[in-house]
Amino acid sequence: MMEKLVWYLTQPYVQYALIVGVLIALCSSLLGVTLVLKRFSFIGDGLSHVAFGAMAIAAVLNLTNNMLLILPVTMLCAVLLLRTGQNTRIKGDAAVAMISVASLAFGYMLMNVFPSSSNVSRDVCTTLFGSSSILTLSRDKVWLCAALSVIVVILFIFFYNKIFSVTFDEAFARATGTKAGAYNLLLAIIIAVIIVLAMNLVGSLLISALVIFPALSAMRVFRSFKRVTVCAAILSVVCALIGILVSILAGTPVGSTIVAVDIVAFAACWLVGLVRGGQHT
Amino acid sequence: MALLTCEHLSLGYEGHEIVHDLNFKVNAGDYLCIVGENGSGKSTLMRTILGLQPPLGGSVMTGDGLSRNEIGYLPQQTVVQRDFPASVQEIVLSGCQNRMGFRPFYGREEKRIAKENMEKLGLTQLAHRCYRELSGGQQQRVLLARALCATQTLLLLDEPVAGLDPKVTAEMYDIIATLHRHGVTVIMISHDVDAALRYATHILHVGKQLYFGKRDDYLQSEAGKLFLLQQEGGASE
């Protein structure tokens, strides 16, 4: 088995998959902490459906680079959703549900009416669950993923303290002159980028798992924002690596394997949290 | 020039006016208590002073070299904060955000200010503890330390003792009184009229009848007499 693994690791397509997987896992977990704490976990889910719809449109239009359409559409929806979420919580909730099912239905319909290949259900399945597309990444796409991820990580580090204060207490941040609106906008755009990137890795239905699980796991164990963020990032990267390798060796779908590893990690963290909590009190 | 001047202020939401033609001034060294029935517009007034929402009319001005973002604000706790994984130090430091501009990381000066304010409020021992594991009184002290990082001059406190038990409430009032003695100007929203009358130098009554003036005069005013009578009636029921 070791030999098989080593052989796979020398293959460029496996190397690409690992690079992209690690970068996407890193980005999604960084933002995940903020999303979970701001009660925005669901927006990630909604946006991934939007990205699915956009991808269907891109396929129908026969765009060679579908990112050019998916990215702006998803960003736009992210901005709109965060806007409505600010005014009244219930409206925002309903808006997320509405947009997400609408684009899911629309996307599926488009894919059926204008089939781009002979096997529609396989195409749909691929977009929804990611299947093996990560192993067939072109060089260009790897570069695009890498560049966008690096930008996201740099932005996150640069604005880390501001993101913390806006997440912890938006009213206080605004009262003391932080432009909370601008940071929410920035967050929305970053979330959209991450979701579009993550679609390559786990497919649009499973993206939320990548965003939420590492954050929740880290929150079971650690008690400061910095530690939670760092732990979520490490956990997410490790889980993605394990998931990709297992899926290659065992022949399971990449996306769901990564998510399964994330779930196991969450269970482990939950146990650790229980034991620790027992000691504290 | 006063620290804070509100002129002909009218407050409300989406064109619906709650408070009309409100005028008051806060000078350096004042301790102003804002009292009034529920829904009378106390919190709306506070949000307007902080610039979180625009007034329907009139103006809020700061003076004496105080800029609008140098008001230390102690908000009421939100749901988000109740299970937020953050250490005391991280939260107190975030109060320094208004002096950061576009600098991404806290420097020595910010860390010094945070440390000083944690000492002032007896939080040094708790610096690395998690916020959500603290008692209600400790959490309020953390938020107060954060507010002090944002200001040296003017504190705005929104129901600072809500949900605290009597002993901790008394401690909290003591802390605020001490800060006031050391030169911090205080504006406090309070349900607790007794405390307002004990500690404040000035009272602002918001409601159907408006009153603004010295504490002692409030007891003789129409608004004050009526309100105190209602409060006593409410307490004895």
Q: What is the pLDDT of residue A130?
A: 65
Element (H, E) at A205: none
> What residue in A sits closest to B74 (Cα-Cα)?
A172
Tell me the count of A-B CB pairs closer than 8 A: 97
Across the interface, which of A39, A174, A225 has its CB nearest the CB of B52? Answer: A174
Asked if residue A124 has pLDDT above 80, the reply is no
Total Cβ atoms within 10 A of residue A84: 16
Quote the CA–CA distance of B117 and B96 in Å, as a whole number.
Answer: 11
Domain residue limits, chain A:
2-276
Measure in Å the smallest separation between the Cα of A281 and chain B Cα atoms.
10
Average pLDDT along chain A: 83
pLDDT at residue A155, rounded to an integer: 92
Cβ contacts of residue B195 below 8 Å, gap of 6+? B33, B161, B173
pLDDT in tens, A196-241: 888 867 777 788 888 899 999 999 999 899 999 999 999 999 999 9
| Residue-wise pLDDT tens digits, B15-24 | 778 888 888 8
Residue B236 — pLDDT band, cuts 50, 70, 90? very low
Q: Is the pLDDT score of A21 beyond 80?
A: yes
Tell me the CATH architecture of domain A2-276. Orthogonal Bundle (1.10)
Give the helix/strand (H/E) hosting B74: strand B71-74
**Axis crossing angle, helix A41-60 with helix A67-87, rounded to the nearest 10:** 150
**Cβ within 8 Å of residue B234, ≥6 positions away:** none
pLDDT(B148) > 70: yes
pLDDT in tens, B114-128: 999 999 888 999 989
Query: For the residues B135-141, what does the mean pLDDT come to?
Result: 89
- Nearest residue to B131 via CA among B93, B176, B171, B163: B93
Nearest to B97 among A178, A225, A226 (CB): A178
Strand, coil or helix: A234? helix
Task: Collect all residues with Cβ–Cβ distance below 8 Å to B78 and sequence separation of at least 6.
Answer: A169, A171
For residue A249, what pLDDT band results from cuts at 50, 70 and 90? confident
Of B73, B87, B150, the CB nearest to A224: B87
pLDDT at res. A86: 55
Pairwise CA distance, residues A68 & B68, whole Å: 42
The answer to whether the CB of B19 falls within 8 A of the CB of B6 is no
Length of chain A: 281
pLDDT at B99 over 70: yes
Residues listed for chain B: 237
Residue B236's φ and ψ, nearest 5 degrees, are -80, -15
Q: What is the DSSP letter of B184?
A: -
Q: For B37-72, how does the pLDDT look when each residue is reduced to its tens digit (9 = 90+)?
A: 877 888 888 888 888 888 888 888 888 778 777 888
**How confident is residue B187, by pLDDT bands cut at 50, 70 and 90?**
very high
B73 touches chain A (CB under 8 A): yes
From CA B216, how far away is CA B207, in angstroms rounded?
19
Measured distance CA(B142)–CA(B126) in Å, rounded? 9
Picking from B69, B75, B98, the nearest residue to A169 by CB comes out as B75
Strand order in the sheet with B185-189: B71-74, B154-158, B185-189, B31-35, B202-205, B211-214
Q: Are the C-beta atoms of residues B137 and B164 closer than 8 Å to each other?
A: yes
**B77 and chain A: CB distance < 8 Å anywhere?**
no
Q: Residue A38: is its pLDDT beyond 90?
A: no
What pLDDT sits at residue A63? 74
Query: What are A128's two structure tokens?
Result: 């929804």
Choose, out of A39, A176, A216, A231, the residue to mutate when testing the contact with B (most B CBs < 10 Å). Answer: A176
Q: What is the band of A89 on the pLDDT scale with cuts at 50, 70, 90?
A: low
pLDDT, position B93:
93
Of chain A, the percentage scoring pLDDT greater than 90 comes to 22
Q: Is A83 on the interface with B (CB under 8 A)?
A: no
* Least reliable range by pLDDT among A206-210, B51-55, B202-206, B226-230: B226-230
Report, in angstroms and rounded to the nearest whole number, the Rg of chain B calculated over CA atoms: 18
Confidence category of residue A133, pLDDT binned at 50, 70, 90:
low
Mean per-residue pLDDT, A183-206: 83
Q: Which of A46-50, A57-61, A277-281, B202-206 has the lowest mean pLDDT?
A: A277-281
